[in-house]
Structure 1
Amino acid sequence: MIHSQQASAAYRAATMTVPPLHAVVMLYDGVLVRVRNAAAAAERGDWDRQSDEISRAVDLLRGLLAALDFERGGDVAMRLRQTYQANIRALLRSTREAQAVAMCAKIEDGLRQLRNAWAEIAGMPESQPNRMVDPA
């Protein structure tokens, strides 16, 4: 719960320094790094790190979820809510799972498509699949 509040606070702070669409893309970038790190940790059998990275990714997705405006967003906001919730459940299911690497890759690919759609709207560059891992 604390992480969710931090993710929401990070989103609010980011929107004060960068345009809101850029903040959304930056949050997606953060999620993608965490999912990639979780996959790498699972591949090494480092289940504690995998769990931590999944927790961070889930917190960022919850931040995106909390930022949805259902009055202005209508059906799009509803579909995004369903997508974020489905990805949260999938990430949590991947914890300590034998197929975690494949599960994370599938989640990452789907989220990258969403990220790139937001980036296109914001006039930002597209993100390419990158299996590099953030050391932190």
Structure 2
Amino acid sequence: MSTMSQAMAAYGTARRAQTPLKIVVDLYDLALTSVSRAKAARMTETFEAEFEAMSKASLILSELEKCLNTEDPRAQSMSKTLRQFYKRTITQLHAAKQARVGDEAIGTYTSVHSQIMTMREAWAEIAGAPSLVARSAAE
């Protein structure tokens, strides 16, 4: 087995050892990165890269939405709220890509990034994962 194969096998083992909550946090991190890349691509007018990054962020949110528990009555309220969040956020991503004015798209990407960051931080707190937001010494 090559060194690269060993490294990939070790990475796979480590990923499978993570809790589902930490995996959700990782998915939000990937979505945040994709939104940042889409915004950067729009700023440099590399529209194909923007489309790819926006599509990846949309796919991540869509797949998270598919994982919601809609059967358990105890989870229905939370599932409904999360479903609305995912659908609204995906709609905003597509609107940013379709915006004719660059400033409008950049503002929308910034807003989407902020919304996903808020959700990511909530899940990170639940999962016991580190925050991405700097906290003041007074907190």
TM above 0.5, one fold?
Answer: yes
**Within 5 A, what are the aligned runs for 1:49-60?**
49-60=49-60
2:28 is equivalent to residue 28 of structure 1:
yes
CA distance in 2, matches of 1:109, 1:49: 21
**Kept in 2: contact 1:47–1:96 (CA 8 A):** no
CA distance in 2, matches of 1:34, 1:70: 27
Give the C-alpha shift of residue 18 in structure 1.
Answer: 1.3
| Identity score, percent | 30
How well do the aligned residues superpose, as a CA RMSD in angstroms?
1.9
CA distance in 2, matches of 1:90, 1:74: 24
1:19 is matched with 19
Give the C-alpha shift of residue 71 in structure 1.
Answer: 2.7
- Equivalences, count: 117
CA distance in 1, matches of 2:124, 2:111: 20
Cα distance change, pair 38–55 in 1 and its aligned pair in 2 (3 A):
same
**TM-score scaled to structure 2, two decimals?**
0.78
Which runs of no fewer than 5 residues in structure 1 stay unpaired? 1-13, 130-136
Give the C-alpha shift of residue 128 in structure 1.
Answer: 2.8
Which runs of no fewer than 5 residues in structure 2 stay unpaired? 1-13, 135-139
2:125 is matched with 120
**Within 5 A, what are the aligned runs for 1:102-121?**
102-121=107-126
Runs of 4+ in 1 over 3 A off after TM superposition: 14-17
2:83 is equivalent to residue 81 of structure 1:
yes
Larger Rg: 2
**TM-score scaled to structure 1, two decimals?**
0.80
